[in-house]
Chain A
Amino acid sequence: MYKVVRYDLRYGILEGWRKLLLAAALGGFVFINFYFDLVGLSMYFTGEPWSFNKLDPSLGDVIVLELGANFGRTGGGPTSSFVFPTLWYLSILLPCYMTLTLASDDLSAGGVQIMSRLRGRGRWWLSKCALCAALVVLYYAALYAFLWLVCAAFGFGTSIVPDEAIFNTYFGAVFVAAETTPAALFAALIVQPILVTVALSLLQMAMTLFVKPIYAFIAVAAYLAASTLGFSPALLGTFAMPVRSSAIGVYNFDFLSCLTICAALSLIAVLIGRWRIAKTDIL
C-alpha cells in the first residue's frame, strides 16, 4: 500500500507540476486585482489614487479582500446588490478542475496495470485520494507562497492580519480580527479553505465513479455558487469564506465546525468511492 501511495504522489505530482503553475498564475491575477482595489481605497482614504504607502496593506488584506468571498446579499437597492465573489469561486474551482479526472483518467489508462499489481481496487482508490488531497494542499501552498512573495516584493506587509480600516471600508461590516488570536486567524484565512477544497475534491472524485466527470464538475460549481447566497453549514462553501468565519466577521462559521464537517465528508467520499470501485466493472 505504501508503495502505490508513494508511486501516485511521486509521479502524480511530477506529472502535474504544470497544474501547480496555475496556482501561481491565479496568485498573480489575485494580486493585480488587489492592486486595482488599492487604487480605489487610496482614493477613498487620501483623495489620491496611488498613495498606497499611506494605507499599509498586507498579505492578510490580499487574502481577505480578494479571496475572502462576501457576506451574501446585503439588502435591496442597486448600490448594495449582490456582487458574486468570482475570485474566491475560481480559487476553489481551479483545484477541483485539477483533480477532477485523476480517477477516471487512470481507469481508462494505466490504472488497470496498477490495480492488477496491487491486487486491490481499494488500495488504488486510497492512493488516488491521497494524491488528490496532496495536489490541493500543494496548490494552496503555491498560491499563498506566491502572494507572500509578491507582497514582500512590492513592499507590502507579509502579516496575515488584515487592516481594520480597509476591511470596514471595503465590506462595510464589523471587524473582529483585531480581537482574534493569530492561530484562529491562520485557521480562518489559510486552513479552512484548504480543508473545504480537499473535501469538495474528494467528493467530486467519488462522483466521477458514478457519473461523467463534467457532471461532477458542474455539481461542484453549482454547490459553490449556491454557497455565496446561503448561510447554512450544509453549504460547505461558507466555511471556505474567510469573511464569514468567526475569526474575521460576525458569522459563526468557526474552524472546529469546519474541521469536523470536512473530515466527515472526506471520509464519506473515500468510503463511497471504495465501495463503488469494488463493485465497478472495469471495461
Chain B
Amino acid sequence: MRGLLKTELKKAFRSPWFASAVLIGLACALWCLWDAAKEVYGENGWFAFERYCMESEIMMVGNGTTLYTAWLGMSQSTAHTVFYRLFPLLALLPCGMGISEELNGGYVKAVVPLVGRKKYFSAKLLAAFLSGGAAVCLPLLFNLTATAALVPAIRLSPYDVTTYAVSHGDLFSAFSYSHPLLYALAFIDVDFIFGGLFACLALPVALRSEKRVAAVAIPYICLLLADAAKGFLYFISYLEISPMDLVSVQRFNMAKPWIYGVWLAILAGVNLVLGLWKGAKRDIV
C-alpha cells in the first residue's frame, strides 16, 4: 500500500494538471497582489492619502489598507471572486483528469490485479485529496506571504468590522480580530480540507462517465447548484450553507461551525460511498 500511495502521490503532484492548477491560482494571487499594492502605493492609494492628510493637516479616519483584508482570502477585489469561483475547478484539476483517463483507458486493469480494488481506490482518493488541497492552498499561501511583504500588517479596527464582516458565531470568529494572522492560516487549512474533498468528487463521476472533462466539470456544476440553493433557507434564517462560500474567508451570511461539520460529513460520505465503495464493487472491463 505504501508503494502504491507513493506512486499515486508522485503521479498527482508531478502531473502537468497540478502545475496548471497552481499556475492559474497563482495568476489570481498575483492579480490580487497587484490590486493590494495599488491600494497602498498607487496614486489614489493609502500612502498618498496619508501624505495628503499630513500636508493638509486633516485628521485621518481609519487605519488604511491592512494585510489582513488585502490578501486573497479577505480581499474584495475581482481576483478574490474569480479565485473562489474557480476554487473547485482548481482542486479537481490535478487528479480529476488523471482518474478518468486511468479508469477508462485501461491502466486500472494493469494495477488492480496487483494491489486490489479497495487499495487502489483508497490510494486514488488520498492522492486526490492531498493534491486538490495543495493546488488551492499554495496560491493562498503565496499571496499571503507576498502581500505581507508589501502591505502593512495593521490590526483590524472597529471600522473594518462594518466592511469585512466576520459575524459572531462564525467559524474561528473568536480570534478573527485579535489574532488575524492565525485566522488567515486557520482558514487556509479549512480551504485545504474542503479543496481536497472537492477534488475527491472526481472519482464518483469518473466511474460513471467516459469523458475526462466530465470528471472535472460535473462536480463543479453540482457545487454551483448547491451554491445556488443557499437561498432556499433565507425565509427561515440567513445562514451560509453553500460549500463554495464556506471556503471563502469572508461571506455574506453567517457560517457556523456545525455547518462546516455537516458539509464535511456530506462530502466525505459521497466520496466514500459513491467513490470508494462503488469503485471497489465495480467490474473492470
Direct contact, A vs B (beta carbon within 8 Å):
yes
- Mark A residues whose CB is within 8 Å of B: 29, 32-33, 36-37, 39-40, 43, 49, 73, 76-78, 81-84, 86-87, 89-90, 93-94, 97, 100-101, 213-215, 217-218, 221-222, 225-226, 228-230
Contact of B213 among A87, A94, A100, A228 (CB under 8 A): A100
**Cα-based distance from A73 to B81 in the complex (angstroms):** 11
A89 touches B85 (CB 8 A): yes
Q: Is the CB of A226 within 8 A of B81?
A: yes
Tell which of A101, A222, A226 has the most Cβ of chain B within 10 Å: A222
A-B CB pair tally, cutoff 8 Å? 94
| Given A90-B221, A214-B97, A217-B213: A228 touches B81 (CB 8 Å cut-off) | yes
Whether B234 and A36, one on each chain, are in contact in the complex, defined by CB atoms closer than 8 angstroms, is: yes
Q: Does B162 contact A229, Cβ atoms closer than 8 Å?
A: no
User: Is B228 an interface residue when CB atoms closer than 8 A count as contact?
Assistant: yes
The answer to whether A86 and B227 have CB atoms under 8 Å apart is: yes
Per the 8 Å Cβ criterion, residues 221-248 of B in contact with A are: 221, 224-225, 227-229, 231-232, 234-235, 242
The distance from the CB of B15 to the nearest CB of chain A, in whole angstroms, is: 13
Question: Are B213 and A76 closer than 8 Å at their CB atoms?
Answer: no
Do A84 and B81 touch across chains, with their CB atoms under 8 A apart? yes
Q: Which residues of B contact A230 (CB under 8 A)?
A: 78
Chain A residue numbers with a CB within 8 Å of B93 are 214, 218
Contact, CB under 8 Å: A93 / B221:
yes
Further contacts, 13 of them, CB under 8 A, given A82-B252, A90-B224, A221-B85? A33-B231, A37-B231, A40-B235, A43-B235, A78-B167, A81-B252, A84-B85, A93-B224, A97-B221, A100-B217, A101-B213, A221-B89, A226-B82
Q: B208 CB to closest chain A CB, in angstroms?
A: 14
Judged by a CB distance under 8 angstroms, whether B19 is at the interface is no
Contact between B235 and A218, CB atoms less than 8 A apart: no
B86 touches A218 (CB 8 A): yes
Which B149-196 residues sit within 8 Å CB-CB of chain A? 162-163, 165, 167
Query: Which residues in A have their C-beta under 8 angstroms from that of B235?
Result: 36, 39-40, 43, 49
Tell me, rounded to whole Å, the shortest Cβ–Cβ distance linking B161 to chain A: 9
B24 at the A interface (CB under 8 A) = yes
Q: Does B104 have its Cβ within 8 Å of any Cβ on chain A?
A: no
What residues of B have a CB within 8 angstroms of the CB of A100 in the complex?
Answer: 213, 217
